[in-house]
Amino acid sequence: MNTTNQNDLQPQQGDALLIVDVQNDFLPGGSLAVPHGDEVVPALNRYLRAFQNLPVYATRDWHPERHCSFKAQGGPWPPHCVAGTRGAELAAALRLPSSAVIISKATTVDYDAYSGFQDTELDSLLHSTSIRRLFIGGLATDYCVLNTVRDALGLGYKVLLLADAMRAVDVQPGDGQRAEAEMLSLGAQRITIEGITA
């Protein structure tokens, strides 16, 4: 007998939706565009509908100018998500509720942070509201989603990975696939929207 039924996947009390870095600079036309990154927006809007009366968190990469991750400073990336710029804004088409909690990360010059839990209030906010399960999607699968999911699992959250609402940078072909395989091997469960609306 199958011990998981569809009901377990229905968003419920104790769940939160965690949307990772859906910012203009990671969308087509942005300074660090993730291929097909814009496709996560309508997909996440479907999950947002399923979370209408449940908590929603959105992380954002929020770098100072001359951040250490930028090429001119010796880092791997073009300048992106500089705090206060249009490129750092969350995608306007994402239908976030006004109650959504925005978590800024990687906000200091000398440190980078791919995980939404790194040097933020995220864990304490989730803990203080008795959230135990996270539905996680966004950008990019092989960087900030991967590191956020690793930390979430390490902190003891159950993680449902929104396979239809994330996209990879794929600096090396297959990076996104490998990241997904790692997240599943660490204990995340892969779902798509059909799993919760069927």
Residue numbers at the binding site for ligand VGL (CB under 6 A):
21, 61, 69, 77, 139-140, 143-144
| Contact present, 151 and 105 (Cβ < 8 Å) | no
Q: Is residue 38 a contact residue for Zn ion (CB under 5 A)?
A: no
- The region of 40-48, 59-67, 91-99, 168-176 touching Zn ion under the rule CB under 5 A is 59-67
Nearer to ligand VGL, 15 or 142 (CB): 142
The yes-or-no answer on residue 71 being catalytic is no
Residue 61 found at the interface with Zn ion (CB under 5 A): yes
Side chain identity, residue 57:
Y
Q: How far apart are CA 18 and CA 70, in angstroms?
A: 26
The distance of closest approach from Cβ of residue 75 to Zn ion in the complex, given in angstroms and rounded to an integer, is: 9
By the rule CB under 5 A, 164 interacts with Zn ion = no
Q: Which of 55, 79 has the CB closer to Zn ion?
A: 79
What minimum distance in Å lies between the beta carbon of 76 and ligand VGL?
Answer: 8
From the candidates 15, 21, 38, 142, give the one annotated as an active-site residue.
21
Residue with the CB atom nearest Zn ion in the bound state: 61
Rounded to an integer, what distance in angstroms lies between the CA atom of residue 59 and that of residue 127? Answer: 17
Choosing from 15, 38, 105, 142, the catalytic residue is 105
Q: How far is the CB of 144 from ligand VGL (least distance, A)?
A: 3
| Beta-carbon contacts of residue 52 (< 8 Å; ≥ 6 apart) | 97
User: From the list ligand VGL, Zn ion, none, which binds 144 (C-beta under 5 to 8 Å, kind-based)?
Assistant: ligand VGL
Q: How far is CA 196 from CA 50, 92, 94, 164, in A?
A: 8, 25, 19, 12
Q: For strand 133-139 and strand 158-167, is the pairing parallel, antiparallel, or unpaired?
A: parallel
Annotation marks residue 105 as catalytic: yes
| Residue 97 contacts residue 124 (beta carbons within 8 Å) | no
Q: Looking at 61, 112, 144, 164, which residue is catalytic? A: 144
- Using CB under 5 A, which residues numbered 113 to 132 contact Zn ion? none
Binding site for Zn ion (CB under 5 A): 61
Q: Give me the active site residues, please.
A: 21, 105, 144
